Amino acid sequence: MVEVVYITWKKVIRLCYRLAKKIANSGYRPEVVVSIMRGGVVPALIVSDILNVDSFYALRVKHWGIAEEVYPVPIIEQLPQGRVEGRRVLLVDEVADTGKTLEASIKELAKLHPKEIRTAVLHLKPTSVVIPNYYAEKLDKWVWLFYPWSLVETVVALAIKEVGDSKVTERQLLEISLSLAKSLGIRGPISSVLKTSIKYYVLETKASSSNTN
């Protein structure tokens, strides 16, 4: 199993502040912030607030699943047409892993003819083929990072992988998910959150299984 590291809300806020300060200290003044959905939305919102950038848009990229590439080439959707032309853009994501998502996003945004594109992420991994203009933290080894806005998705997906059975019950999945959450050092009302969410993940898993049969 891959090494998994959970980034808490407290650390996320600290990293976002650090990232915004780096951008401000560089002298770059973005006129538009574009986040990469879904992971880049929260960091982009915080950074845009600190830098007082009112123009905020998002593009959707289909590429990653849980700890693996689902699409070998990222699929770009929901471009901010007519919103970035001739303007300084800051493209924000939570992490540069392989760098493919950033690379594809920059390429598609460039087709909209902005004045300049700079990139910013919370974490830069050593495996990235793209070095963002700004990053809050650089890792010296590859680990699977996940953030509080994808807590349930990640924990449940890891639990389903561990079970390896699409017929797992909600109770079984809850027990395994709680055990994983505890092992990852996740605190807070995780039990009630998982109880609320797991039924939706079980339904989706069953639907996916039936569609492949």
The tens digit of pLDDT for each residue in 94-123 reads 999 999 899 999 998 999 999 999 999 999
pLDDT band (50, 70, 90) for residue 125: very high
pLDDT value, residue 60:
85
Are 114 and 99 within one domain?
Answer: yes
Q: What is the largest CA-CA distance in the chain?
A: 56
Query: Same structural domain for residues 103 and 194?
Result: no
Of 130, 180, 114, 187, the residue nearest 153 (C-alpha): 180
**What pLDDT is recorded for position 205?**
57
User: Considering the domain boundaries, does residue 34 fall inside one?
Assistant: yes
Residue 72 lies in a domain: yes
Q: Is residue 213 part of a domain?
A: no
Indicate which CATH number applies to the domain containing 140. Answer: 3.40.50.2020
Q: Distance of alpha carbon 40 from its chain centroid, rounded?
A: 5
At 126, the pLDDT band (50, 70, 90 cuts) reads very high
68 band by pLDDT with thresholds 50, 70 and 90: low
Q: 54 and 116 share a domain?
A: yes
Q: Let me know whether 74 and 153 are in one domain.
A: no
| Domain end marker among 130, 145, 160 | 145
**Residue 201 domain boundaries:** 148-208
User: Is there a domain that residue 132 lies in?
Assistant: yes
* Residue 88 lies inside a defined structural domain of this protein: yes
Q: Which two tokens stand for residue 197?
A: 């969410």
- Backbone φ and ψ of 45, nearest 5°: -60, -45
Tell me what the pLDDT averaged over the chain comes to.
Answer: 86
Domain boundary among 145, 168, 193: 145
Could you tell me if residue 37 is inside a domain? yes
Q: Which helix (H) or strand (E) holds 180?
A: helix 170-183
**Domains in the chain, number:** 2
Does a structural domain hold residue 162? yes
Question: Do 133 and 175 belong together in one domain?
Answer: no
133 with 152, same domain: the answer is: no
Separation CA 11–CA 8 (nearest Å): 5
pLDDT at residue 133 greater than cutoff 70: yes
Same domain, 26 and 104: yes
- Please state the pTM of the whole predicted model: 0.84
Share of the chain above pLDDT 90, in %: 50
Has residue 126 been placed in a domain? yes
Name the domain boundary from 114, 145, 176: 145
For residues 54 and 156, state if they share a domain: no
Buried b (16+ CB within 10 A) or exposed e, 189-199: ebeebbeebbe
Are both 194 and 180 inside the same structural domain?
yes
Please report the pLDDT score of residue 189 as a whole number. 77
Instruction: Please give the pLDDT value at position 155.
Output: 83
Q: Is the same domain home to 163 and 91?
A: no
pLDDT band at 160 (very low <50, low <70, confident <90, very high): confident
129 pLDDT exceeds 80?
Answer: yes
Examine the domain organization and report whether 44 and 114 are in the same domain. Answer: yes
Q: Say if residue 11 is in the same domain as residue 51.
A: yes
